[in-house]
Structure 1
Amino acid sequence: MNLQEYWGNNRKHNNTANKLTFVLFIVYLMALIWILLFKLDVQFSYTESRRVNLIPFSEPLILNGKADFGEMLLNVVIFLPLGIYAGILFKRWIFGKKLFFFFLITFMLEGIQFLLRVGAFDITDITTNTLGGVIGSMIYKVIEKVFKSSVQAQKFMNIIAAIGTVLMISLLLLLKMDMLPVKYK
């Protein structure tokens, strides 16, 4: 079932809330692509060669002689919104279909990173990104139960997502314009 069929079959839902959710979802996807594929327009040294890692969790980033799981945690966190948006926009999908959606999105992004030489094709990233989508979907289910109404839960998430989107875009723009004390170059 596509988005138009979903909205057409559920006229009870507030059309404004649906449109806002969809717009926020598109902005999130654009930011995700900019961050993951275009690396904020930064040229990293590892982009010169292509790498494939098919052994999950075999290469955690070693920092000062210790395993750094921060990158894996960030991979989970950056995909939480995908799960939340899927919970709202694809409410009728069963868990398996959502799981496949999270996997497919992350698999495609990893493949494109590899083809464009902007990152490695890493099974650990696919696993952690997919996990982030699953956790995000579960977070939305909990919020829906708390509000006891999918419409109220959606409106609440739209407020949170709108605030988060404005903050994210502001931070990314400030970072891009070198107006933050943190430098990414």
Structure 2
Amino acid sequence: MTPSRSGRSPRSSTLTTILFAAYLVLLVGLVLFKFPFNYETGDSGRHLNLIPFAGSYTAGGVVGWSEVIENVIVFVPYGVYLSMLTSGWSIGRRLLPILITTVAFETVQYVFAIGRSDITDVLANALGGVLGIGIYAGVARLLGARTNRVLNAVALVLTIVVVLAWAFLGVHSMGASPSGHARTLTAANS
């Protein structure tokens, strides 16, 4: 199989596209449907925060960095995959789909009153995407023409692990009652 001008083989690009699509499905499940966690936020209705970090404070008045860090981490693969598929694009051009996606997620959450729409999420997600672009650039400098092949192998393994973990968590969260205690299925309640 001959590589394209960018050094990627058609098979590598196809695998990258499939893995990116799987990642996007998982991302939609996580962001919009909170799968596999299936938890109630206790909130109903629409919530919109346009002040960075204002919605990130804990009850003690301290910024709750864990959610911000999780939002950064969850978008790192987006930047990596986008870079793998669009290596000829500038950083700004790669950042645009990341921003559009995160704003779309926050808009959908607001319109359908599912979760909170928060500018902090947009900023954290964008930072995650930029970090992913940077990670790709660093790996590309180290590995050269082998970059996408190596990243595809790593991404394939991680995707399998994440899907299996989500399936495990999803099955276990379906068996939990709202109070968080496991539910036993019997003939009477099935």
TM-score band (shorter)? 0.7 to 0.9
How far apart are the structure 2 equivalents of 1:46 and 1:111?
A: 20
Cα distance in 2 for partners of 1:174, 1:94 equals: 39
Does 1:130 find its partner at 2:126? yes
Gaps of 5+ in 1: 1-8
Q: Deviations over 1:41-86 (max 9, x none)?
A: 7252445211000011122240556432000000000000000001
Are residues 107 and 94 of structure 1, via their aligned partners in 2, closer, same or farther at CA, if it must alter by over 3 Å? same
1:93–1:183 distance in 2 versus 1, CA, 3 Å: farther
Aligned residues: 174
Give 3-state SS (helix, strand or coil) of 2:58's partner.
strand
Moved more, 89-98 or 22-31: 89-98
Shift of 1:120: 1.3
- Please list, as runs of the form range in 1=range in 2, the aligned pairs for 1:17-166 lying within 5 A after superposition: 17-40=12-35, 42=38, 44-62=40-58, 66-149=62-145, 152-166=146-160
Distance of 1:84 and 1:47 partners within structure 2: 34
Q: CA deviation at 1:11?
A: 7.8
Among 155, 160, 177, which residue is 2:171 paired with?
177
Query: One-letter code of the match for 2:150?
Result: F
Distance 2:7 2:74 in 1: 31
Work out whether residues 46 and 119 of structure 1, in 8 Å CA contact, stay in contact via their aligned partners in 2.
Answer: no
- The separation in 1 between residues aligned to 2:58 and 2:43, in whole angstroms, is 19
TM-score by length of 2: 0.83
| RMSD, matched Cα | 2.4
Letter in 1 for 2:40: F
Give, in angstroms, the shift of residue 99 of structure 1: 1.6
What SS is found at the alignment partner of 2:54?
coil
Report percent identity of matched pairs.
28
Distance 1:127 1:103, change over 3 A: same
**1:4 corresponding residue in structure 2:** none
- Once the two structures are TM-superposed, the CA of residue 183 in structure 1 deviates from its matched residue by 9.7
TM-score by length of 1: 0.86
Aligned to 1:3: none
Q: Which amino acid aligns with 1:14?
A: S
Could you tell me how far 1:12 is from its partner in structure 2? 5.3
Mapped partners of 1:32, 1:153: distance in 2? 24
Distance in 1 between residues matched to 2:154 and 2:111, nearest whole Å: 35
Q: 2:8 aligns to what SS in structure 1?
A: coil
Question: Alignment partner of 1:148: what SS?
Answer: helix
Displacement, 1:169? 0.4
In the alignment, the residues of structure 1 paired with residue 7 and residue 63 of structure 2 have an alpha-carbon distance, to the nearest angstrom, of 50
What is the SS of the residue equivalent to 2:172?
coil
> Larger Rg: 1 or 2?
2
